[in-house]
């Protein structure tokens, strides 16, 4: 007997056979029936709750297929709150106030979520305090600025311009600038300066992040680039039944050159656990962090030990990689692994892929790859050389889908900022994929636009397929988890200009209400 029946709605099942229906029934944490109002209401028993949707649209729970919940959240849950700060004056004022209150021996450190250009220098921080260590943290990868006292605590000076064997940025005279080194040393350096995170802080980090995602209609994420400490926290919260988002993990290790033995030794949660699974390696290492030969050896070993890849693929001026270089290196390495043991059916993925030639797409199709796209094109692409002449085919989702490649959508979440508190709102990418209008209202590669149903699949059924969970989530059909979102408007029919006004009225995970909007009756 169903616990609840939802009827009189527009239920977009995202199932090719069921299409749109008006009602569905939930028993426990699963959907048990989908169909007309008459069909589902006939299943009601004396204790069944009947919920009149009042014509509201319902979609499957959304899946952010490229999230960084933990790596971003650890720099949001504590420290001087800098979220939304956009002026140098405000940044300095908050640092001065924190220094005045700092207990002896403590480090003053900030959250991320601010944007000030040009940023503060080591001299600027020294002017705030020459004795209290200050760490101004800029992003989830540990980029930031340290004052002289913080450098001294780490043993860094002109005479010792390195940390644990990693060179730090220096000026022309050889004096450390105060900038943190490149990733992953940057994160490790910040970790040494900051006090260890408590279990309570870990819980708050994850709960705050899940609450934010549930409010956006997100019920599942692929959490890429998670370090072992983050996995341990999530496993503990899973045991304590605290999760309201389903996690698929991509594992990453600080010492990337030793990833293979650590991955091989990792005891993974069972793949049947619908709340927490460790299912790929991280998006790093990639073609920008090691030679082509080293990367090829890495992915061949990854295949040999039974792990899947989810590799970062994007142009990078910092790594001298053009639009196609990283893609070609990655595909050649994957093809080498495929020759060792076929990748067909293993659902390896390439992440970002802002550009792809027809030949590269053909190679992806042959390998059976998942293509994970994010925000390429949504923001003005100032970092991509204009000489490429490739902007007319940027983020080529239409072509990828037409080649029968499975494409999934995600945010590449980097945290809030002055421009947006929720840059991981799936509606931002949905809107771009459907209209090809970027944040400035400019059309980007309009021939690559896709339908609304195709866009919805990127965040639902396709994303479930990418993690081998197509038979447990991603659609509103009998037998799957009751992960669904009731919307404030019909996302599939409203005028395009109103798509960004779409908001969840309520979000359900496993039949349980995990979010209700203010004044919502659901």
d(C-alpha 272, C-alpha 276), whole Å? 9
Report whether the peptide linkage leading into residue 184 is cis, meaning its omega lies within 30 degrees of zero.
yes
Task: Please give the C-alpha separations between residue 232 and each of 175, 272, 307, in angstroms, as whole numbers.
Answer: 39, 18, 19
- In this prediction, residue 306 carries a pLDDT of 95
Q: Please, is 208 exposed, middle or buried when counting C-beta atoms within 10 Å of its C-beta (0-12, 13-18, 19+)?
A: middle
Residue 24 sits at the vertex; the CA angle it makes with 23 and 27, to the nearest 5 degrees, is: 155
Contacts of 85 (CB under 8 A, 6+ apart): 91, 94, 113, 114, 115, 116, 418
Report whether the peptide linkage leading into residue 354 is cis, meaning its omega lies within 30 degrees of zero.
no
- In this prediction, residue 386 carries a pLDDT of 45
Task: Please give the C-alpha separations between residue 225 and each of 2, 279, 348, in angstroms, as whole numbers.
Answer: 39, 12, 15
pLDDT in tens, 302-327: 999 999 999 999 887 667 677 789 99
Q: In what order do the strands lie in the sheet with 504-509?
A: 20-21, 10-12, 57-60, 484-487, 504-509, 512-516
d(C-alpha 242, C-alpha 244), whole Å? 7
CB-CB contact of 85 with 94 (8 Å): yes
Token pair for residue 319?
A: 């790594």
Query: In the chain, what are the domains?
Result: 1-61+474-522 (2.30.40.10), 63-70+198-473 (3.20.20.140), 79-193 (3.10.310.70)
Q: Reduced to 3 states, what is the DSSP secondary structure of residue 363?
A: helix
d(C-alpha 391, C-alpha 273), whole Å? 41
Pair type for strands 20-21 and 62-67: unpaired
pLDDT tens sequence for the chain (522 residues): 999 999 999 999 999 999 999 999 999 999 999 999 999 999 999 999 999 999 999 999 999 999 999 999 999 999 999 999 999 999 999 999 999 999 999 999 999 999 999 999 999 999 999 999 999 999 999 999 999 999 999 999 999 999 999 999 999 999 999 999 999 999 999 999 999 999 999 999 999 999 999 999 999 999 999 999 999 999 999 999 999 999 999 999 988 889 999 999 998 888 889 999 998 999 999 988 899 999 999 999 999 999 999 999 988 766 767 778 999 999 999 999 999 999 999 999 999 999 999 999 999 999 999 999 987 778 765 555 544 567 778 899 999 999 999 999 999 999 999 999 999 999 999 999 999 999 889 998 999 999 999 999 999 999 999 999 999 999 999 999 999 999 999 999 999 999 999 999 999 999 999 999 999 999
From the list 202, 204, 224, 211, the residue with the least C-alpha distance to 64 is 224
CB-CB contact of 444 with 438 (8 Å): yes
Contacts of 460 (CB under 8 A, 6+ apart): 14, 59, 60, 61, 62, 63, 474, 475
């Amino acid at each position: 007997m169903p616990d609840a029946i939802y009827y009189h709605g527009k239920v977009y099942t995202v199932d090719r056979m069921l299409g749109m229906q008006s009602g569905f029934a939930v028993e426990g944490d699963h959907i048990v029936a989908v169909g007309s109002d008459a069909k589902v209401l006939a299943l009601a028993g004396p204790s069944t709750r009947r919920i009149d949707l009042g014509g509201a649209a319902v979609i499957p729970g959304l899946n952010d297929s490229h999230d960084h919940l933990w790596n971003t959240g650890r720099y949001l849950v504590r420290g001087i709150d800098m979220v939304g700060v956009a002026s140098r004056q405000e940044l300095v004022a908050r640092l001065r106030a924190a220094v005045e209150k700092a207990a002896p021996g403590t480090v003053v450190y900030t959250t991320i979520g601010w944007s000030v250009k040009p940023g503060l220098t080591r001299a600027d921080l020294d002017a705030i305090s020459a004795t209290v260590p200050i760490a101004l943290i800029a992003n989830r990868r540990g980029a930031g600025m340290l004052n002289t006292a913080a450098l001294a605590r780490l043993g860094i000076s002109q005479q010792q311009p390195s940390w644990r064997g990693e060179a730090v940025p220096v000026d022309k005279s050889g004096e450390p600038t105060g900038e943190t080194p490149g990733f992953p040393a940057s994160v490790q350096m910040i970790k040494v300066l900051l006090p260890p995170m408590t279990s309570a802080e870990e819980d708050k980090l994850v709960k705050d992040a899940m609450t934010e995602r549930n409010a956006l209609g997100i019920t599942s994420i692929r959490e890429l680039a998670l370090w072992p400490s983050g996995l341990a926290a999530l496993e503990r919260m899973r045991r304590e039944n605290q999760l309201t988002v389903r996690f698929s993990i991509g594992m990453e290790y600080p010492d990337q050159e030793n990833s293979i033995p650590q991955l091989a030794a990792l005891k993974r949660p069972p793949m049947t656990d619908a709340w927490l699974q460790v299912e790929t390696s991280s998006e790093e290492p990639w073609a920008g962090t090691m030679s082509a030969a080293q990367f090829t050896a890495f992915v061949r070993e990854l295949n040999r030990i039974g792990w899947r890849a989810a590799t970062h693929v994007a142009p990078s001026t910092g790594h001298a990689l053009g639009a196609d270089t990283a893609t070609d290196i990655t595909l050649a390495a994957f093809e080498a692994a495929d020759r060792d043991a076929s990748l067909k059916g293993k659902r390896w993925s390439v992440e970002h892929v802002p550009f792809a030639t027809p030949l590269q797409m053909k190679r992806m199709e042959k390998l059976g790859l998942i293509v994970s796209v994010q925000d390429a094109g949504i923001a003005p692409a100032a970092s991509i050389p204009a000489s490429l002449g490739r902007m007319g085919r940027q983020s080529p989702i239409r072509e990828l889908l037409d080649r029968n490649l499975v494409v999934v959508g995600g945010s590449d979440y980097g945290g809030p900022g002055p421009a947006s508190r929720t840059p991981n709102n799936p509606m931002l990418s949905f809107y771009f994929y459907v209209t090809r209008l970027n944040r400035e209202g400019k059309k980007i590669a309009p021939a690559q636009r896709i339908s609304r149903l195709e866009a919805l699949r990127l965040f639902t059924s396709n994303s479930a397929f990418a993690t081998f969970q197509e038979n447990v989530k991603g659609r509103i059909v009998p037998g799957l988890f009751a992960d669904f979102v009731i919307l404030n408007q019909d996302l599939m029919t409203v005028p395009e200009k109103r798509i960004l006004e779409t908001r969840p009225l309520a979000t359900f995970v496993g039949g349980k209400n995990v979010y209700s909007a203010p004044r919502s009756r659901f």
